[in-house]
Structure 1
Amino acid sequence: MKPIKILIPSDFSIQSEYAYILVKKLEEKLPVEIHFIHVLNTPETVTIDDSGKITTCGDIAPAFVQKQYDLAVQKFEEFKKRIGGYVHTHIRSGKITEGIISFAEKNNFDLIAMGTKGVEGLRDKIGGTETQLVVRKSKVPVLSLSCNRSQLEIKNILFVHDFLADEDFDISLMKRIREAFQCKIHMLHILTSHTKAQDVESIKAKMESFAKENQLENYSVNVLKDKDVEQGVFHFDQMNSMDIICIGTHGKGSLFYSSIAEKLVNHMYKPLITFRLYEK
């Protein structure tokens, strides 16, 4: 079976280690290939090749970049000694979000796994977390979490989707996790004020059709009425205690608006897998 190629962006914080711990949990039942990347936040005129050679155009002293690079190498070596296992490590330069996404897409990664500190209030609207920005822009699915999930038992996956929308997306990763851990997929459609109650049976029929088309096994169909999708996800999880939540995003966040997936990244404490939605 082909390994799942996973990229873990690292700033050497505890959140990065949380991501690694959860990836190791996946490794209990799935073949995985683990890579770490650290992006030095430098001007675009600074480049670092695969051998570690640093090139600048005079905007920043090469010696300064070299010092930051050497420190990152040292921290990666210390980390590898501590975990006692082999992982691939990479150091790049440039803008952090773009560096992570570009590396993941160019090297055909199946998943980006990131820890997040989460944000509240005005910071949520203005900047958000690095994880939120990666979720917005990445075509590669993103697994995010905000705390240690070393004791996680993957038994129930919540798959949140608008089953009335005509969209393309790839749920192969979710299916691989379900098959490996023999867990149950709970499909959830949130009814908001714009959806008529009499549409429930039609929605459930579409969900059953979706399950058949995608050859899903061990699943349930659920329709829940709530204030909005974010609140619906929180309330369903409170009632049913999900282990991992999967939801798509169109990647259309902006300065004063973030998608439902991005809001969940910052406010949800359960591991979250986001994937790109494409309008047909």
Structure 2
Amino acid sequence: MEKKESLKVLIPTDFSIEAEYAFMMVNNLSKKANMDITFLHILNVPDTVTLDKDNNISTCGEIDVDFVAVQRDMALGKLNELKEKNEGVKTDLIFGHTTTGIIQYAEENNFDLIALGTKGTSGFAERFIGSNAQLIARRSEIPVMTLMCDRSGLELKDILLVHNFEENDPQNLKLMKRVMEVFGTKLHLLQIATKNDNQDKIKENMLIFAQKNELKNYEMHVILDHNIEEGVNHFMESHDMDVVCIGTHGKGGFFHKSATETLINHLYKPIISYKIK
């Protein structure tokens, strides 16, 4: 299939193996789907420390400019190594808060996808702090792909779209449909139901959702389970999905448990999350 206009992919990097996993997967997919890849490193500094377009540092005077300059130069050196090692990639360095900086940079520069390697999290950290990946997925208007391990050999044959199909309005599925078109991927629609749910009605809603979103080459699945995370895991035991796609209302946090964020932190499959309209 002919390569179409490039997908702009942002890979935030802290130079860890998790960030490398994100690049390895995206780089593998770029062999078939034309991708414009940018590595972004964010140096976490107070708002009073700024970096101009020429990489000059300004501070309020309370922070040692030389110390910040050392950190900047180390980061720039590592970014240059990435550029030399991976032909065709772009790199950038900014100052700021990690999650806010990534989202703002991606939106201001019109990226199609943010690709994140993540260690996941659990217990106290998940409940009270959360991972950067889940916070970015919660707030970003741009689709976010997360993965925990090496998926450099991934072949996109089957995508699982998990959704409550009572919400059958058109969604932001442009990226997913583009991937399906390029890779010839089959889509599997899944809703996790309870024993009181009308499965015929769910499938009727799935058909409406598919029509409104102009989906093709798909199958419909309904399974009974206690919650979305368990349902997805049980479904994957009998169906070998390559990627899980799931929407988020952006309501995660201490007072709202998000199924999307739970999967991001626990599921050892690549996940593409998008903001539900």
TM-score category by the smaller chain? over 0.9
Other-structure match for 2:223: 224
> Normalized against structure 2, the TM-score is what?
0.95
Are 1:241 and 2:244 matched, yes or no?
Answer: no
Unaligned runs of 5+ in 2: none
Greater alpha carbon shift after TM alignment, 5-14 vs 44-53: 44-53
Give the AA of the match of 1:231.
E
Other-structure match for 2:146: 144
1:188-267 correspondence to structure 2 within 5 Å = 188-192=190-194, 196-197=196-197, 199-255=198-254, 257-267=256-266
Q: What is the CA-CA distance between 1:255 and the residue it aligns to? A: 2.7
Other-structure match for 2:106: 104
Other-structure match for 2:80: 77
Task: Answer whether contact 1:192 1:229 (CA < 8 A) is retained.
Answer: no
Give the AA of the match of 1:182.
G
Percent identity, aligned pairs only? 45
Unaligned runs of 5+ in 1: none
Greater alpha carbon shift after TM alignment, 200-209 vs 14-23: 200-209
1:98–1:191 Cα change, 3 Å? same
1:103-142 correspondence to structure 2 within 5 Å = 103-142=105-144
Distance in 1 of aligned mates of 2:66 and 2:88 = 30
SS at match of 1:165: coil
Distance in 2 of aligned mates of 1:21 and 1:50 = 29
Residues 148-186 of structure 1 deviation map (CA, whole Å, 9 limit, x = unaligned): 001211110000010012555210100011111101000
> Normalized against structure 1, the TM-score is what?
0.94
Distance in 2 of aligned mates of 1:88 and 1:74 = 14
Give the AA of the match of 2:72.
Y
Residues 16-56 of structure 1 deviation map (CA, whole Å, 9 limit, x = unaligned): 01000111122122111101111101001111123212111
Greater alpha carbon shift after TM alignment, 242-251 vs 60-69: 60-69
Distance in 2 of aligned mates of 1:21 and 1:73 = 21
Q: In angstroms, what is the RMSD of aligned CA positions?
A: 1.4
Greater alpha carbon shift after TM alignment, 261-270 vs 249-258: 249-258
Distance in 2 of aligned mates of 1:169 and 1:53 = 42
Greater alpha carbon shift after TM alignment, 51-60 vs 216-225: 51-60
